[in-house]
Amino acid sequence: MAKKKGDKLGRYESKRDFDATPEPAPRKRRPRKAKATALRFVVQEHSARRLHWDLRLEHDGVAASWAIPNGIPDDPEENRKAIRTEDHPLEYLEFEGEIPAGEYGAGTMRIWDRGTYECEKWEEKKVIVRFAGERVSGRYALFQAGSGKDWMIHRMDPSAEERGPFPESVVPMLAKLAELPADADEGGWAAEVKLDGVRAIAYCRPGRLTLQSRNLNDVTRQYPEVKGLTRQLGSLDAVLDGELVAFDESGRPSFGHLQQRIHQTSESVVRRRMKSYPVTYMVFDLLYLDGHDLMEQPYSRRRELLEKLELEGESWQTPRYSTGHASELLAATAAQGLEGLVLKRLDSHYVPGGRSGAWLKIKNSMRQELVIGGWMPGEGRRKDQVGSLLMGYFDPEAGKEGFRYAGKVGTGFSDADLRELLERLQPLARETSPFAGRQPPKAKSARFVEPELVAEIEFAEMTSDGMVRHGSFKGLREDKPANEVRLEEELPA
């Protein structure tokens, strides 16, 4: 026996206090049968505890409803989860508003698309419709996949718009160390402040985000505050390039602060560190947007499209760039104790993994990623602790034996750094030196390790034979494989 409308809306009514919520209360109306005539549908973007989209179809006097966590799929190759929810009154097809905190479904509800649909099939476990909306059009199937409320939504016909494949595993484009170019102030370069953080590519789909490091590790769990970025993008697919940065008390990028977050994977520790050492995702490039690969577009066009997205939030920003003032900006960064500049040709394409003269980094201080090949014990009370690190780099011209000694680093450590270094280095212990050719002084006292840990080192000078002078430890890096660490050679002006 068919349910009466009052029965259908019983669950809807029981979950809501209509004196507290602006959502519409049910009222009596004659049902319309689902024939070939066009019936109404709506897709509402629901920014509740988790962003999702609610699909509602006018059917038999009510709005049959599904919650779709990742939005309506446009690609026939992709099925998406749909959760069957309680029927809503037909008035809900027009509803937009703010559901108060404490009420069921609290959050902002806005109409994302609406239109009419033709019903081809309506069965208990399967519905086939043809949408005619402003954003959603075409033939779709909703079908049960498991328990009563677990459904899927699938596009059955080809998309009206040709969409490029969503990128995966993009290795970030890199900048080459250089002096300030002679034409840096002539307007062909975008000048950006060099941020003392770690690179990350953000893969953004409706309701979900994945952060991937420079060496293609998934670091999403380490920076949960960035996930809110997807709310601002809404239903858009996007791939962003940027830098994860922690700021100190004076508002300057601090790699030391970021170190408190880089290695953490425990959810409880990450939540605590988020409060003490918040991280901001600084977005400076847009590689893909809503079906369109932008990597062949010039940097100026990619930035134009990025800035139209207006990605500004508590844990993400889109920093501006300048043209024609690179020398002035470099001097300002030096005065403020910042690392330097990155210059990018406005006409440059994005080359994943590429490092060329199209992107340049101009540093105020000398820094280099180096690999730890061993350590020297401290003296006195530190005799069982790390006194200094023995650093090296890989020389690609020297083959498998090409790990070269680059000097000793004995300053810049906090007590926490020393404890972590010892914990990380002890499992990597080896009997023989990993260095080829030149060896560290007092090598008999050294504790050698497999060259696997990468560290950021600041130094006063790099000698002509590749030795660091007055090196200071800035922190470990997890975003670059050790075997890719080379000595950076500066391009002439």
Q: Which long-range contacts (CB under 8 A, 24 or more apart) does 154-163 make?
A: 154/73, 154/76, 154/79, 154/80, 155/73, 155/74, 155/75, 155/76, 155/78, 156/76, 156/128, 157/76, 158/76, 159/74, 159/75, 159/76, 161/74, 161/291, 162/291, 163/74, 163/75, 163/290, 163/291, 163/292
Within 8 A by CB and 6+ apart from 82, the residues are 55, 66, 67, 68, 142, 151, 152, 153
Residues in the chain: 493
Cα–Cα distances (Å) from 412 to 130, 417, 449, in that order, read 65, 9, 21
Which residues are registered as beta bridge partners of 58? Answer: 63
What is the b/e burial string over 22-38, where b = at least 16 CB atoms within 10 angstroms of the residue's CB? ebbebeeeeeeebeeee
* Residue 15 designated active-site: no
3-state secondary structure 57-124: EEECCEEEEEEECCCCCCCCCCEEEEEEEEEECHHHHHCCEEECCCCCCCEEEEEEEEEEEEEEEEEC
Cα–Cα distances (Å) from 33 to 13, 38, 83, 118, 119, in that order, read 23, 11, 24, 12, 10
Note whether 382 and 376 are within 8 A (CB): no
Take residue 166 and report the two structure tokens written for it. 């969503």
Take residue 109 and report the two structure tokens written for it. 């509800």
Which of 5, 8, 194, 344 does the annotation list as catalytic?
194
The closest alpha carbon to 368, from 255, 493, 440, 474, belongs to 474
Take residue 36 and report the two structure tokens written for it. 């070939």
Report how far residue 109's alpha carbon sits from residue 97's, in angstroms, rounded to the nearest whole number: 5
Residues that are catalytic: 194
